[in-house]
Amino acid sequence: MKRVALLACCGTLLGSLSLANAGPQEPADALVYDAMAAPATVSYTGVVQTVRIGDDGSEASVYRIEHRAPNQTVRKYSSPPALSGDYVVTRGVETYSVDVIRRRVVKARNDAVNDQIAVDNNYLLLRQNYRAIRRSEESLDGRDVVDVALVNNYTHKTTVLVRIDSITKVVLDKQRFSADGSLLSETRFEQVSYNATPPATDFAVPQAYPVAAGTDFNASSDDPHATASAAGFAVREPKFLPEGFSPVQARVEPLHGVRTLHVLYSDGLRTVSLFENNAGAAVDLTRLHPQTATVAGRDADYAQSGPTMLLAWRDAGLHYALVGELNLDELEKIAASI
């Protein structure tokens, strides 16, 4: 694919588009947990429009999605132009990114996709920091939907709003908001159909294209402190995190050939990643037009891509980067506490 992923993280709660079937009296927080189980039983097709909004501008994409339960999905992009014609096939823990212009396939593996322990832990964290509230009923794309808001217990602000098809329990729209109430991103599902299960041939990968190895991720440890102690260098951990955030997963992974510790912090919905190594820059910001900042009196660089903020700096021979949907002030406070 002709774009660089900013986060190599596990899928977080509500990352899928569907919710499992549930009775009308089921509590809203139980519906949230059902969201993670639905792809195993619900097949669907449709068109997805996604917009990510940031101070530096917006990013938009449009793709046709086909999902065949339990674990096969294909996303075929029509926008932006740089991605038009490209598609991504996911089969279980394996992902194949098909670049039709370069006529190649990049294959990657993420064992964390089916990590049920991580999913359960994340749900408990979400319930600790958010409350699910049914808001209203309306019509969207010709279908009746129920609005469910996830409200942060500390800010008392809505972080995520989902509009759920009242019959199929598929989420037809998902909006994410910043602490000041501004829209960060929206994912809208249109032309949805459940009439037929997509055929297995729709998830085929071109046999004539050469296959390049992407980055493989082993299942993350749910004991970040133990992983950090085995990183092979003197790891430093933040003493400050925003309210509700906890370290939830960690792995040591090769980034640009450098052994790097990646710790994922989450409050159940929002995430921030800390990348740390002792051999080279933790992230490459050159394509993002970085600006200068200061972390505890040391020079730093930051950049923004849509709602995602990146902060990178060096201290005592270690290279750090924080990446997440938090504002610069929050990232600087985390960084200064390391």
Q: How far apart are alpha carbons 258 and 37 in whole angstroms?
A: 36
Quick check: 3 pLDDT over 60?
Answer: no
Which of the two residues, 337 and 18, has the higher pLDDT score? 337
Per-residue model confidence as pLDDT tens digits over 29-84: 877 777 777 777 889 999 999 999 877 677 899 999 999 988 899 999 999 998 99
- What pLDDT, on the 0 to 100 scale, is given for residue 202? 94
- What pLDDT, on the 0 to 100 scale, is given for residue 144? 85
Burial class of residue 58, CB neighbours in 10 A (0-12, 13-18, 19+): exposed
CATH of domain 224-336: 3.30.200.100
- What pLDDT, on the 0 to 100 scale, is given for residue 21? 44
Per-residue model confidence as pLDDT tens digits over 244-278: 999 888 888 877 778 899 999 999 999 999 999 99
Name residue 209's amino acid.
Y
Q: Which of 130, 127, 166 is nearest to 145 (CA)?
A: 166
- What pLDDT, on the 0 to 100 scale, is given for residue 23? 43
Q: Which of 161, 138, 165 is nearest to 151 (CA)?
A: 161
Domain ranges (residues) in the chain: 28-213, 224-336
Report the topology of domain 28-213. outer membrane lipoprotein receptor (LolB), chain A (2.50.20)
Inter-residue contact 50 to 60 (CB < 8 Å):
yes
- What pLDDT, on the 0 to 100 scale, is given for residue 63? 96
Which of the two residues, 16 and 53, has the higher pLDDT score? 53
Residue 91 CB coordination number (10 Å)? 16
Report pTM: 0.80
Per-residue model confidence as pLDDT tens digits over 195-245: 888 999 999 999 999 998 876 665 556 677 788 778 888 889 999 999 999
- What pLDDT, on the 0 to 100 scale, is given for residue 215? 65
Beta bridge pairs of residue 264: 249, 273
